[in-house]
A = this chain, B = another copy of it.
Amino acid sequence: MNYNGKRINLSIFGESHGAVIGCSAEGLPAGFLLDTEKIRDMLDRRRASGRFSTKRREKDEFEIVSGVYNGRTDGAPLCALFKNSDTVPEDYLKLGGKARPSHADYAAFVKYGGYNDFRGGGQFSARLTLPMVFAGAVAKQMLDAKGVDVGAHVLEIGGVCDKRFDAARVDAGTLRSLDSRFPLLDGSAEAAMTKRLEEAAAEGDSLGGMVECAATGVPAGLGECGFGSVEGVLSQLLFAIPAVKSAEFGAGSEFASLTGSKANDEWRMVNGAPFTLTNNAGGINGGITNGMPLIVRAAIRPIPSIAKPQRTIDLHTMTETELSVEGRHDVCALPRAVVAVEAMVCVGILDLML
């Protein structure tokens, strides 16, 4: 999968059960001193752990094979590789040719004439968010050096909600405080969310959720009118994350029930700097950043792999059958997906700023 942006080209390769996955990022500025510890921290936040995550435990150690010289980016494509080690292809061989409902199995079978590597979902696996997060971790450092902070939190899991960002006032401190494995604005939501996860796990079921991401310090004037809108650029990146099914900016879908007088963000000046009293626009007017915090939300569908028996079809015989997805799966893509969303937003903003 290849993101061919304005300045950044990001190629991601590999499959769930292949030997190696990785990414190659081009167009990054040279001379940037990479903090590999920070990369590891961000990868750690994405890594499976805890009761509700897949039992597939990968070390997620990366090897940078090009693009860094003496610790700094050197202008060549920044390529990082990750070995797959803890694969259990048997889980998938058991499936035979049964199309797991709401996975890409059937769509991929048609697209690739049945030749796709279905083990672990092949290239459709959430494992591929690992190189995405690597690229995002690099972008995040570069943004930090430009005074841009990006943070994201679990806004919702299975109907239990955290509070939303205060769109007009969110600041870098708040965003940095989200640097955890279960990032919440209101920590008190964790208990209810955990309870919801326990219930679902007990039922052999899974849960969906919502991620909210914000960026501060984004300069006005990024993006283009029309097909190169900031919303369009970020959406292309966000929908590359498996399970993302919506992208909304600022008030997003709530605009549908608002009046203009409620929705409009009036301009004010403080110390010679313009700002808006409210930030329903999510920092974007006409597809272009306006200097206010960028606010984006992405819905994450429930993990389609559930233990509960489901009816489906067999792709080889094209007859109906039943399956119960074994293997090792998260109960919910969140909170792990939070860091993938954050990563993609970082890549997008950096691309627009270069």
Q: Which residues in A have some Cβ–Cβ distance to B below 8 Å? A: 1-4, 6-7, 9-15, 18-22, 24, 26, 30-31, 63, 65-67, 69-70, 72-77, 79, 81, 99, 101-108, 110-117, 121-124, 128, 155-159, 200, 203, 205-210, 220-222, 224-229, 231-233, 235-240, 242, 244-269, 272, 274, 276, 280-282, 284-291, 297, 299-306, 308, 310-313, 318-320
Contact = CB atoms under 8 A, between A and B. Distances in A.
B252 A111 contact: no
B245 A246 contact: no
A246 B37 CA distance: 35
A227 B2 contact: yes
**By DSSP majority rule, is chain A's interface helix, strand, loop, or mixed?**
mixed
A11 B79 CA distance: 11
Contact of A102 (B3, B157, B233, B281): B281
Nearest to A79: B13
A183 to B, nearest CB: 16
18 contacts: A2-B9, A2-B11, A31-B115, A74-B112, A75-B116, A124-B225, A206-B260, A206-B261, A208-B258, A210-B253, A231-B245, A232-B235, A235-B235, A245-B249, A245-B252, A246-B249, A258-B301, A269-B313
Contact of A66 (B20, B237, B238): B20
A267 B77 contact: no
Nearest to A123: B76
A349 to B, nearest CB: 15
Contacts of A264: 101-102, 302, 304, 306, 310
Contacts of A1: 26, 77, 224-228
A167 to B, nearest CB: 13
Q: How many copies does the complex hold?
A: 4
Contact of A128 (B69, B112, B226, B313): B226
A255 B206 CA distance: 11
A207 B259 CA distance: 4
A299 B290 CA distance: 20
A299 to B, nearest CB: 4
A30 B263 contact: no
A24 B30 contact: no
Given A3-B227, A14-B79, 5 more contacts: A75-B111, A123-B225, A123-B226, A159-B257, A231-B245
